[in-house]
Structure 1
Amino acid sequence: MSGESKSNQESGRNPQDASSGKERLPFEPKKNRKKTPKKTPEKVVEAKSQAATKTSAKEQTEIPAVVSQRMLRRMGLFSGIPTVFGISTFIISYFVVIHAWFKLPNIAVVLVSMGFFGLSVLGLSYGAISASWDEERPGSILGWREFTTNFGRLTEAWRSAKQKN
């Protein structure tokens, strides 16, 4: 055996990889994948008809743009406010400690900021569920009525999916 091939075997590299200057990653397959054969015209026609069916099904399940914008605004509001409070907790506690206004335990800062960031995560979910899913009806300011309606729809869908499985 030559010295180069022996060193390649020891390092786990393929000799072809060494000559090209490219090292094979540990999770990279040793051989290239087989190329898929080209489709015959009959299969292409079937694929196009299936693609048309998929797009029509996608259009039926797609969230309307008005509703998705409403969800994004509500998610930004109900998640953004607690996030700002969570970040400001660190800033305010910094000034309290620097100016020595009173002794502030570190755990208090951590727990308060974690509480605000937890509310922010809940705000994301509440913002999406509390938005009116009807295109024509904007819904109320806090969205509690829409939340109860939409949460009922979600739980009903989960139960029916669980029964199917």
Structure 2
Amino acid sequence: MASQPEEKRTNLPFEPTRKRKKKPKTEPVKTESKPQPPVQDQRKAQASLSAIPESVSQRMVRRMAFFSGIPTSLGILSFFAFYWIVTKELLELPPYTVVLVSMGLFGLGVLGLSYGLISASWDEERVGTRFGWEEFTVNIKRIFAAFRTAREERRQE
């Protein structure tokens, strides 16, 4: 399976643009300089650079609601459907049938949360496809690349 070179890919707005540098183990000597802004302001500035844009987060929420909401709703409705089937004596169902069907549907709901998050386009200007398979493949490659990079950085320390 050939993958595209990572160099051609453009970084997303909330993706880090440079690698972290190792912090020195020795404490630096304090020199007089300009007063530094409060730590709280620095954290807010970093959070705004690494925060997910509003349009992308809304897209993720919509997809998560769709891909998780449908199976979860069917899982809840399955209880009522099985109750109706048993009370009307249409079928004789063993109790584990209800458990297996509802657990399967709730499990699909949990998978839908993950798929909805990863299948959303992480680019602000690009909406993406309806079911998001193309975006899913791109984003899953990005996630694995980030894990590999983090693992390599830990090994180098």
- TM-score, normalising length: structure 1: 0.70
2:144 aligned residue (146, 151, 155): 155
Alignment partners' CA distance in 2, 1:163 and 1:114:
38
Segment drifting more, 125-134 vs 54-63: 54-63
Alignment partners' CA distance in 1, 2:51 and 2:137:
22
2:63 aligned residue (49, 68, 74): 74
- How high is the sequence identity, in percent, across the aligned residues? 50
| CA apart distance, 1:47 | 6.0
Alignment partners' CA distance in 2, 1:81 and 1:163:
39
- Does residue 51 (structure 1) correspond to residue 47 (structure 2)? The answer is no
Q: Which amino acid aligns with 2:148?
A: R
2:110 aligned residue (110, 113, 121): 121
Q: Which amino acid aligns with 1:71?
A: M
Indicate the structure with greater helix content: 1
Alignment partners' CA distance in 2, 1:98 and 1:47:
69
Q: Which runs of 5+ in 2 are unaligned?
A: 1-34
The one of the two structures with greater contact order (alpha-carbon pairs below 8 A, sep at least 6) is 2
Mark the structure with the bigger radius of gyration: 1
| CA apart distance, 1:46 | 4.3
Which residue pairs with 1:99 in the alignment? Answer: 88
| Residues 5-84 of structure 1 aligned to structure 2 (within 5 Å) | 46=36, 48=38, 50-84=39-73
RMSD after superposition: 1.5
- TM-score, normalising length: structure 2: 0.74
Alignment partners' CA distance in 2, 1:92 and 1:142:
28
How many residue pairs were aligned? 121
Name the SS for the 2:102 alignment partner. helix
- Does residue 140 (structure 1) correspond to residue 129 (structure 2)? The answer is yes
For 1:112-131, what per-residue CA distance to the aligned partner results, in whole angstroms no more than 9, with x for missing partners?
10000000000000000000
Alignment partners' CA distance in 2, 1:74 and 1:102:
36
Moved over 3 A (4+): none
Alignment partners' CA distance in 2, 1:51 and 1:62:
16
